[in-house]
Amino acid sequence: METNFTMHPDCAEILIGPEELQKKVKELGKILTEEYRGKDLIVLGLLKGSFVFMSDLVRAMDLDLDVEFMVVSSYGASTQSSGNIKINLDLKADLTGKHVLIVEDILDTGRTLYNIRDIIRLRGPESVKICTLLDKPARRKTDIKADFVGFTVEDKFIIGYGLDYAEKYRNLPYIGVLRPEIYQ
């Protein structure tokens, strides 16, 4: 597969390339297939950031599963989480007795996932686990850890493969560090 690295050439320094991303997604898919084999699974994506990762991830899982989404936000047009979690679109599925895997693009401060996990737990699932493509533990503000992690990253503002800055750069085929001059 030919990759176009000329897309937005001056916006970011490449941190994780497309091939490395796909290798990790396949690895996580195998782990999750074993974890959830024979279980009634709902894969819950937090939009918008998780859509690219989740799309690749569910195709790497050899399971029957349901897919649901929630739209939540805490960043807006900033490089920092506001701490105010807003549910813009809630899921409609009954979670009673189901196994829920929350899929997120990045676990940063943890505020969003901490709150969403607690909301989901109140809806009666058998289990709730978290799979994140990226974990940024240096910025953690809550006591939360993902059950499945693709990559641990440094405290830099990253974009691409679903992650954005002010709703831009989600379509980059790699994870990159946003150049400071873009947001300063």
Specify the pLDDT at position 83: 60
State pLDDT tens for residues 2-16. 444 455 567 889 999
Residues 175 and 184: their CA atoms lie apart, in Å, by 20
Nearby residues of 113 by Cβ (< 8 Å), 6 or more positions away: 46, 102, 104, 107, 130, 132, 142, 144, 146
Share of the chain above pLDDT 90, in %: 74
**How high is the pLDDT of residue 9?**
61
Mean pLDDT over the full length of the chain: 89
pLDDT by residue (tens digit) across 78-122?
445 556 778 899 999 999 999 999 999 999 999 989 999 999 999
Whether 55 has a pLDDT exceeding 70, the answer reads yes
Reply yes or no on whether 135 is catalytic.
Answer: no
Phi, psi of 47 (to 5 degrees): -90, 150
Catalytic residue selected from 56, 105, 108, 135 = 108
Pick 168 or 147 by higher pLDDT: 147
How far is 101 from 53, CA to CA, in rounded Å?
13
pLDDT at residue 4, rounded to an integer? 45
The CATH class that applies to domain 12-183 reads alpha beta
pLDDT higher than threshold 50 for residue 165: yes
Single-letter amino acid, residue 162: G
Supply the pLDDT for residue 12: 87
Task: Please say if the pLDDT value at position 148 is more than 80.
Answer: yes
